[in-house]
A and B are shown apart, each in its own frame.
Chain A
Amino acid sequence: MKILIKSGRVIDPANNVDDIRDILIDNTRIARVGKGLNNGADKTIDAAGKIVMPGLIDMHVHLREPGREDKETIATGTQAALHGGVTTVLAMPNTIPAIDSAENARLIASIIRDTARIQVLVCGAITKGRLGEELVDLARLKKEGIAAISDDGSSVDSPDILFKAMKKARELRIPVICHCEDKTMSAGGVMNLGANSTRLGLRGISNESEYKRVQRDLSIAQRTKCSVHIAHISCAESVEIVAKAKKKGVKVTCETAPHYFSLTEEAVLDYDTNKKMNPPLRTAGDRDAVRQGLADGVIDVIASDHAPHTVAEKEIEFDRAEFGVTGLETEFGVSATYLVHTGLLDWAGLCRKMALNPARILGIDKGTLSAGSDADIVIVDPDAEWAVKIADFASKSRNSCFLNERLKGKVIKTIYRGTVAYSAD
């Protein structure tokens, strides 16, 4: 099967391409990229006026399986990914059981093999049960193919354990993803700490509880020379600390999520639990710092932190509702709307944050449209406007913080390994 994607604006920063090109797919791989290609494709996709990019890589998602299949499964989560133009995800290990042993890694691998609709990479835990006490057997997990380690959802509180984990990870060349939160400071908090949490009578989560932990984790990274990736940066101080560390040569990359550069804490003023996540939405100043960090290149990656929850866990009192929002299906639209259409990033810049950089951090040969690479491709209409509707979600859950929002920039087709796996029409 040969598919020709005709006349699209091809964005491929790995090869410095931003031009009208044709792409010829032969079975699962990209055969050629060039102008005026016309050699006997079985099927032609007219991409005139559209943008053609590498399939997006979302390195921070919670697929909930095994354990919480009522929220999401690997099948539904990866289908949602396809709707969002995502062809590779990194699944976080806070499943039940946690991915903290070879056995559990094999368990999730078998579900992925049977049900995943895209490439699912697995992130292993740092500590047993993600309790921060006993290190997992990293070498064995590595053998089972895990792509990174993280105790996401929790920070490793003990600096000793984190030090050992990073040392080992460096030996094994596994990236460590840090969820930075000092729970002794944030405990009980449900939104950003400040005038608005006071106004709403809710317990707050300070910037400090995040950035102090970023600082600590980076100092351990510096000592161990381990590659670390800071997850979901939400506040100005964290951006600044990472920027400084990068200047000093610490091997650090970091990500933010679409809600941190599009929304502020004002969104929770009506106690909307679909705006409750951890870290919380911050002030306009923090949002602007995150935007600037993306524009400056301090923040390398946009990842959704897709965190599906059931209605019963969300349509309850704000204090009791679960943290987290879905994001796979909206991350492209939100990023296009708030970063590209505002002029903060060009399309190539967006492509780096959402495909190329995550691929490099995870050490996978993806995120490009080079001839010979996997034909993971997304075709988007850069100017199409659309409204986020529950009815359109493929995810099992509906806890999006962008419900009913109008976005500009829409995924038209998602091609995974040479097959059109999602089509908006």
Chain B
Amino acid sequence: MSEPVTWNKKDLLGLEYLSAQEIAFILDTADSFKEVTTREIKKVPALRGKTVVNLFYEPSTRTRISFELAAKRLSADVINIAAETSSIKKGETLIDTGRNIEALKADIIVMRHNYSGAANMLARHLNISVVNAGDGWHEHPTQALLDIFTLREKLGNIEGRSVTIVGDIAHSRVARSNIWGLTKLGAKVTVCAPRMLIPVGIEAMGVSVTNNIDEALKEADAVNVLRMQFERDEQGAFPKQMEYFKKFGITEERLRRAKPELIVMHPGPINRGIEMSSEVADCPQSVILDQVTNGIAVRMAALFLVSQARDIKNEDPH
């Protein structure tokens, strides 16, 4: 019995480029993979003989490990390339690096890059699959998928729910991917940040904007708290850390004024006492560790689906 084709993209570049059906399909597939991750033997042979290259131009331990585990649980071989050890410093262009990896007969490149659009460009020039593990301020699709997966798990559905994203919206790929994904699935999204960290025209992405955290939390079913990267404040746009906590930090007191079942999320790593208090990070409403666990299932689904799409595309069905 043949099922209808529901995923035919060789790359996963961003949630902007996916339909609501495609997003739901990845989440459903991830649901099946989550069962695998609960087994004694957490490994299936689905990508046996395939090679996944983690190409990281920015340091990232969490995302890389999550992708590495996901690939290994699918029985793929994994190679990690960090910017410092590759030929990037020797001036090789990204496309040349990609073509070299392709010539090594790798199947999937998982790339983290500090420039927006780098994954789009690489995917355009290669036949092998590209999974975007974060590009500049643009998108971080698997992070948003795991956020939405976790929400769906806790809330049952996304449509009609209210989700607030708090923090440095301007420089956040996590925010952008979440906005695309959540709005496509019918959620109401509010972004909340100091005025300097709200990018021009963000309303055009279908969100409401406020700089009042209590207002932003009032109707919310979930709050996704972004990491404040004070070390990257190039334009002096950030408020002082304590001032930020006072105005935007998620505290128990603020939670008391919100819906009692409000879900608290954070992509990690948390700055305790800056983005949220320690009590909130550890409270029963916090799903931060569920996000980490779900990340593996979501990334397994992403790797599996792009790999299948490529195989199917290359195969003449007749």
Contacts and interface: CB of A to CB of B under 8 A. Distances in A.
Q: Are any A and B Cβ atoms less than 8 Å apart in their complex? A: yes
Interface of A: 193-202, 204, 270-271, 312, 315-320
Contacts of B94: 316-317
A320 B200 CA distance: 22
A318 B136 CA distance: 11
Contacts of B115: 317-320
Of A196, A312, A318, A320, most B-chain CB atoms within 10 Å: A318
Contacts of B120: 270-271
Interface in B110-151: 113, 115-118, 120-121, 124-125, 135-139
A199 to B, nearest CB: 6
B204 A195 contact: yes
B200 A271 contact: no
Given A317-B113, A318-B115, A318-B116, A197 B204 contact: no
B200 A193 contact: yes
Interface string B172-205: 0100100000000000000000000001111111
26 contacts: A194-B200, A195-B202, A195-B203, A195-B204, A196-B201, A197-B199, A197-B200, A198-B204, A199-B204, A200-B138, A201-B136, A201-B139, A201-B176, A202-B116, A202-B117, A202-B136, A202-B138, A271-B116, A271-B120, A271-B121, A312-B93, A315-B95, A316-B93, A317-B117, A318-B115, A318-B117
Contacts of A204: 200
Nearest to B199: A198
B202 A198 contact: yes
B123 to A, nearest CB: 10
Contacts of A320: 115
A130 B201 CA distance: 35
B77 interface: no
Of A193, A201, A202, A316, most B-chain CB atoms within 10 Å: A201
A52 B94 CA distance: 47
Of B117, B118, B139, B176, most A-chain CB atoms within 10 Å: B117
A319 B173 CA distance: 16
Contacts of A318: 115-117, 121
Give the 10 A-B residue pairs with the shortest CB-CB distance, closest first. Answer: A195-B201, A201-B137, A271-B117, A201-B138, A195-B204, A201-B116, A317-B115, A198-B199, A319-B115, A318-B117
* Chain A interface helix/strand/loop/mixed: loop
A198 to B, nearest CB: 4
Interface string B72-116: 000000000000000000000111000000000000000001011
A311 to B, nearest CB: 9
A103 B115 CA distance: 42
Contacts of B176: 199, 201
Contacts of A312: 93
Contacts of A201: 116-117, 135-139, 173, 176
A317 B121 CA distance: 7
Contacts of B173: 201
A248 B290 CA distance: 67
Contact of A317 (B118, B201, B203, B205): B118
A271 B118 CA distance: 8
B168 to A, nearest CB: 12
Nearest to A271: B117
B16 interface: yes
A219 B2 CA distance: 72
Of A194, A202, A317, most B-chain CB atoms within 10 Å: A317
Nearest to A315: B95
Of A196, A202, A271, A312, most B-chain CB atoms within 10 Å: A271
A319 B116 contact: yes
B180 to A, nearest CB: 9
A286 to B, nearest CB: 15
A204 B170 CA distance: 12
Of B94, B170, B201, most A-chain CB atoms within 10 Å: B201
Of A193, A195, A199, A320, most B-chain CB atoms within 10 Å: A199
A196 to B, nearest CB: 8
Of A198, A315, A320, most B-chain CB atoms within 10 Å: A198
A200 B116 contact: yes
Contacts of B203: 195
Contacts of B199: 197-198
A200 B200 contact: no
B205 A199 contact: yes
A366 B116 CA distance: 47
A205 to B, nearest CB: 12
Contacts of B125: 315
Nearest to A319: B115
B11 to A, nearest CB: 13
Contacts of B136: 201-202, 319
Given A198-B202, A317-B115, 11 more contacts: A195-B201, A195-B204, A196-B201, A199-B16, A201-B139, A202-B136, A202-B137, A271-B116, A315-B121, A316-B95, A319-B116
A194 B204 CA distance: 10
A199 B176 CA distance: 7
Contacts of A200: 116-117, 138
Contacts of A195: 200-205
Nearest to A312: B93
Contacts of A193: 200
Nearest to B203: A195
Contacts of B16: 199
A199 B15 CA distance: 12
Contacts of B118: 317
A204 to B, nearest CB: 7
A271 B115 CA distance: 11
B309 to A, nearest CB: 19
A85 B258 CA distance: 69
Nearest to B201: A195
Contacts of A315: 93, 95, 121, 125
A315 B16 CA distance: 23
B118 to A, nearest CB: 5
A82 to B, nearest CB: 32
Contacts of B113: 317
Nearest to B173: A201
B208 to A, nearest CB: 15
Contacts of B138: 200-202
Contacts of A197: 199-201
A317 B135 CA distance: 11
Nearest to B93: A316
A271 B125 CA distance: 13
